[in-house]
């Protein structure tokens, strides 16, 4: 029987976490697999532990309470390191704790994993539930990433990772900054399943325009060498194109490009393998719920 660990980063979203665990318990019923849950509480300011009433189909539940809030990507990275060093498992499924990663798709991951000859699987977004403006921004993010990195990244952290993939991610400093960027960098042979972005169980989405922009630039920063080469080629070509028509307006794309290069250079400084290696020192305590 294969062992699947579901890794859930959480920050101040107790109601959603409680409902998610209940829905996971419902969705994994009758699966011939051992399902456990590890929650990484990213130093929430509110009480995270709840009265989890329906967990009969889940083997175990642990909540890792962190001392300092370090953000979503680092929360997942720390969880992967903890699992790899402390747990027996075959696959890890990271997913958001607010319902936007739909628990009914866990079964799809597991069914494909059983036939995949130990390949990592990603949930490729086929439909999103956000408003039109956010969908437009997300499309722009995908186009921008493709143009400047040559990578078409259509997935987030909702994936099914093999032990071999996790070992590679723990050696890659980009994991400390961008989950999907790091996974794309270290794994070229990924399987995919269609994944619909769900709606939050409670409250508005935490993915603002600014957070989406930061998320996009963090992914792009993983491939900064390619970005710099493509940017240099674009600058040369664009200067030749506008040299007889140069003005503040025609120069605007160059200014925006320079701002982007500056931003991804700053974000790339977040890639710190030493901090990543010491990330478990940020654990305050662990609550074993089941």
d(CA 59, CA 272): 34
230 inside domain? no
224 inside domain? no
Per the CB < 8 A criterion, the answer to whether 37 and 62 are in contact is yes
d(CA 53, CA 180): 33
pLDDT band at 21 (very low <50, low <70, confident <90, very high): very high
Buried b / exposed e over 178-211, threshold 16 CB at 10 Å, is bbbbbbbbbbeeebebebebbebbeeeeebeeee
- How much is the pLDDT for 241? 85
95 inside domain? yes
221 pLDDT above the threshold of 90? yes
d(CA 188, CA 82): 25
26 inside domain? yes
Average of pLDDT values for 160-167? 97
Per the CB < 8 A criterion, the answer to whether 62 and 39 are in contact is yes
Domain assignment of residue 113, given as a range: 3-205+271-288
Place of tokens 């909540």: 63
What's the domain count of the chain? 1
Q: Burial of 85 by CB count in 10 Å (0-12 exposed, 13-18 middle, 19+ buried)?
A: exposed
117 inside domain? yes
50 inside domain? yes
Average of pLDDT values for 250-268? 89
196 inside domain? yes
Residue (of 69, 79, 94) closest to 4 by Cα position: 94
d(CA 117, CA 98): 31
233 pLDDT above the threshold of 80? yes
Average of pLDDT values for 29-33? 92
pLDDT tens digits, 98-118 = 999 999 999 999 999 999 888
Query: Domain of 127: which CATH number?
Result: 3.90.550.10
214 pLDDT above the threshold of 90? no
Q: What is the mean pLDDT of the chain?
A: 91
Q: Burial of 41 by CB count in 10 Å (0-12 exposed, 13-18 middle, 19+ buried)?
A: buried
Tokens matching residue 77? 């990275």
d(CA 176, CA 271): 6
233 inside domain? no
25-29, 35-39, 41-45, 213-217: which range is least confident on average?
213-217
pLDDT tens digits, 36-84 = 999 999 999 988 988 888 899 999 999 999 999 999 999 999 999 999 9
130 pLDDT above the threshold of 70? no
Give the other-Cβ count within 10 Å of 133's Cβ: 9
């Amino acid at each position: 029987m294969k062992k699947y660990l579901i890794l859930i980063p959480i920050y101040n979203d107790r109601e959603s976490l409680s409902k998610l665990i209940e829905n996971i318990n419902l969705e994994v019923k009758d699966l011939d697999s051992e399902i456990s849950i590890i929650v990484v509480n990213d130093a929430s300011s509110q009480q995270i532990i709840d009265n989890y009433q329906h967990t009969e189909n889940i083997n175990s539940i642990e909540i890792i309470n962190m001392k300092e809030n370090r953000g979503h990507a680092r929360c997942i990275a720390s969880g992967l390191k903890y699992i790899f060093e402390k747990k027996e498992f075959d696959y890890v499924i990271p997913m958001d704790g607010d319902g936007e990663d739909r628990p009914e798709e866990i079964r799809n991951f597991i069914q494909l994993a059983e036939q995949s000859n130990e390949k990592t699987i990603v949930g490729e977004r086929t439909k999103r539930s956000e408003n039109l403006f956010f969908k437009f921004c997300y499309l722009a993010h995908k186009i921008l990433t493709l143009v400047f990195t040559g990578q078409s990244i259509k997935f987030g952290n909702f994936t099914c990772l093999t032990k071999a993939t996790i070992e590679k991610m723990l050696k890659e400093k980009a994991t400390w900054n961008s989950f999907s960027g790091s996974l794309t960098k270290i794994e070229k042979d990924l399987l995919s399943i269609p994944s619909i972005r769900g709606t939050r169980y409670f409250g508005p989405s935490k993915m603002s325009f600014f957070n989406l922009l930061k998320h996009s630039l963090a992914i792009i920063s993983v491939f900064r060498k390619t970005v710099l080469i493509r940017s240099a080629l674009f600058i040369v070509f664009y200067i030749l194109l506008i040299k007889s028509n140069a003005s503040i307006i025609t120069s605007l794309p160059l200014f925006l490009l320079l701002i982007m290069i500056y931003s991804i250079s700053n974000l790339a400084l977040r890639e710190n393998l030493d901090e990543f290696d010491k990330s478990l020192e940020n654990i305050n305590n662990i609550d074993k719920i089941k």
